Every structure is written in C-alpha cells, then in structure tokens.
Amino acid sequence: MKRRTLLLIAAAIACVIASTPAVEAADSPAEIPLVIEKNRFEPTVIKVKAGAAFVLVITNKDKTPEEFDMQQPRIEKVIPAGKTVRLKMPALKSGSYDFVGEYHSETAKARIVAE
C-alpha cells in the first residue's frame, strides 16, 4: 500500500514538473519582429492585443545606428548597426501609437495599433 501511494505521489509530481514549462510559455509576452532596412521600418503597422505587454525584436540591417523613438508612452532606444535588440513594451490601451527612427525621421515611420 505504501509503495502504491509513493508511486501515485511521484506520478503527480512528474505531471506538475512536465506541465510547468508550458504554463510559463503561455504567460510569456508575444514577440513581434521589426526590421530597420534602408532607413525604414518593416512592417509599418504592427497590431497587438490591447492590455497585453509584448516584446519588439528589432533588427537593424543598416550600416548605421537608428533610434527607436515613441512619444506616448515615452520610449527611446538606440539600435546599433547590424544588431538585434529586444525591447520590452508595456501593455497599451486601445489606440494607435506612432513611432519614428529619430536619425531618419523622414523615412523611418511606423505605428503600433492596440486592439
């Protein structure tokens, strides 16, 4: 009887341990790719879920740095030439949020739409 109880407890613990990574993955913020190339952002419109934090994975394919610049919420981050930066973004209320590449603001323009 004791052996059966120990086996049931061990099986229950194994099930909990096996399911833990899946729970953590479900809670991880969404990762959204953003590319800087030829002094432009691609895509130019990024759709996200309102009220949910996310991560912008920004890859700068240009030979010069660019600064991600968003007015609301206030976020500034230099993305070095040829590098990829993970930028943790806060949960946004429903709406549209414009951002630019400060060093090339005439061409590097894009928007995040929270729905």
Question: Domain locations in the chain?
Answer: 29-114
**DSSP-H helix ranges across 1-115:** 2-27
Of the pLDDT bands very low, low, confident and very high (cuts 50, 70, 90), residue 27 is confident
The predicted model scores a pTM of: 0.75
For 35-51, what is each residue's pLDDT tens digit?
Answer: 999 999 999 999 999 99
pLDDT at 15: 53
- Percent of the chain's residues with pLDDT above 70: 77
For 55-90, what is each residue's pLDDT tens digit?
Answer: 999 999 999 999 999 999 999 999 999 999 999 999
pLDDT over threshold 50, residue 24: no
d(CA 32, CA 54): 7
Superfamily designation of domain 29-114: Cupredoxins -  blue copper proteins (2.60.40.420)
Judge residue 18's burial from the number of C-beta atoms within 10 Å of its C-beta, 0-12 exposed, 13-18 middle, 19 or more buried. Answer: exposed
* Side chain identity at residue 112, one-letter code: I
